[in-house]
Structure 1
């Protein structure tokens, strides 16, 4: 992953343009589904259940890529691929552990960037406070 940005902003802008007024709502679904997928992946890893890793990793991969969250999508794909191989070979997904450990922090950092960019006024607008006039709304 290195110094790669967490979000491909070109793909993000394209998704935003294509989704239009539905963008914020669908980003909210990504948050809900992503939180659920990450938890399911962690539970499956604790249980050493390769089959239970596949669907949440696949779901997270697709949704992340929809918003240009390529490193998150790639990490989810790695977990999915390892899990599918383990299911085929009837092995436990031990090899996926290092990737699963990185998943939640990457998901949370990525989501924070996406949500910040989805609502720039909420973050970037200077707050009215002592010695400042409130901004005209």
Structure 2
């Protein structure tokens, strides 16, 4: 099954990355999972500690990796967190106004990752519908006249 209707992933970008990465695609997607889990945890920890500077690098990393797979909403949210954190660092301010974005990050990451991994599954290509055989279900394809 393809998740073409989803707005969480730009499937054109996803399939381009898949074609470009070839046999390494699933491995790279695994790295995205590992790095993403770490980045989200680091962003949440930085937010709890009220440390704007500690938000910047994990948000920047997540943004770039999400874009590689066409996960634009996730990339845009990570970029918003990154830019908010950079502004806070510049103003020597605390990042509490990034809290709403940070709380949306984990669910968006998990939902996006689930879509990416489902689409990457080798079973996806096997589940694509095949055209029905001549005659179709419930129709006689042989001679009549029993």
TM superposition shift of 1:123: 9.9
> TM-score w.r.t. structure 2 length?
0.81
Q: Which residue of 2 aligns with 1:59?
A: 61
In 2, the alpha carbon distance for the partners of 1:35 and 1:90 equals 28
**Where has structure 1 moved over 6 Å in runs of 4 or more?**
none
- 1:22 match: 24
Equivalenced residues, count: 123
Could you tell me which runs of 5 or more consecutive residues in structure 2 were left unpaired when the two chains were aligned: 128-146
- Describe the shift of the 1:4–1:114 C-alpha distance in structure 2 as closer, same or farther (beyond 3 A): closer
TM-score by length of 1: 0.86
Of 68, 77, 84, 1:75 maps to 77
Q: Return the offset for 1:122.
A: 6.7
What whole-Å deviation, never above 9, does each CA across 1:65-106 have from its counterpart, x for those lacking one?
000000000000000000000000000001110000000000
Q: Following the alignment from structure 2 to structure 1, what is the Cα–Cα distance between the partners of residues 97 and 18?
A: 36
The SS at the match of 1:73 is helix
With over 3 angstroms needed to count, the CA separation of the structure-2 counterparts of 1:68 and 1:79, relative to structure 1, is same
Residue in 2 aligned with 1:112? 114
More helix by share: 1
Query: What is the match of residue 102 of structure 1?
Result: 104
Match among 24, 32, 48 for residue 46 of structure 1: 48
Q: In the alignment, which residue of structure 2 is the partner of 1:133? A: none
Q: Which runs of 5+ in 1 are unaligned?
A: 126-137
CA displacement at 1:4 relative to structure 2: 7.1
| Cα 1:97–1:123 shift into 2, 3 Å | farther
Q: CA RMSD in A?
A: 1.7
Q: Is the 8 A contact 1:116 1:123 kept in 2?
A: no
Q: Quick check: which has more Rg, 1 or 2?
A: 2
